[in-house]
């Protein structure tokens, strides 16, 4: 049995939207509750990614003869880890927006 996580929930919702199925209003609050609980896991993953990117920047600066922070930041931002970190930020933003919309819609029940 597949473990429920934010990505699974969002992919299920995306599939519903792509197939032009309506998401029942009753489901909005249930899904928002789950996403809000799982958001902490996503935030912790993002924090670990930020740490890896920061460590990469430190390595790059230490390896330079003439310390150039901008060059180190540019080089670090070209890595896959940086791209994944940005994707993770977007995922968290999507979760926060979904929860906000669900709260708004719950006022209309």
Please tell me the total count of domains within the chain: 1
Residue 1 placed within a domain: no
Structural domain range at position 12: 6-106
Q: Which whole number is the average pLDDT over 17-35?
A: 90
Whether 80 contacts 53, CB under 8 Å? no
Give residue 26's pLDDT: 81
Give residue 62's pLDDT: 93
Q: How confident is the model at residue 74 (pLDDT cuts 50, 70, 90)?
A: very high
Whether 6 contacts 41, CB under 8 Å? yes
Cβ partners under 8 Å of residue 95, min gap 6:
6, 10, 35, 36, 38, 39, 42
Whether 47 contacts 24, CB under 8 Å? no
Residue 33 placed within a domain: yes
- pTM for this entry: 0.84
Q: What is the DSSP letter of 92?
A: H
């Amino acid at each position: 049995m597949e473990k429920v996580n934010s990505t699974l929930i969002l992919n299920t919702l995306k599939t519903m939207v792509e197939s032009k199925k309506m998401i029942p209003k009753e489901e909005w609050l249930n899904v928002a509750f789950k996403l809000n609980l799982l958001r902490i896991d996503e935030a912790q993953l993002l924090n670990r990614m930020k740490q890896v990117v920061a460590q990469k920047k430190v390595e790059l600066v230490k390896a330079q003869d003439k310390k150039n922070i901008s060059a180190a930041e540019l080089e670090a931002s070209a890595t896959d880890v940086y791209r994944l970190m940005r994707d993770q930020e977007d995922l968290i933003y999507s979760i926060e927006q979904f929860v906000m919309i669900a709260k708004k819609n719950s006022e209309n029940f």
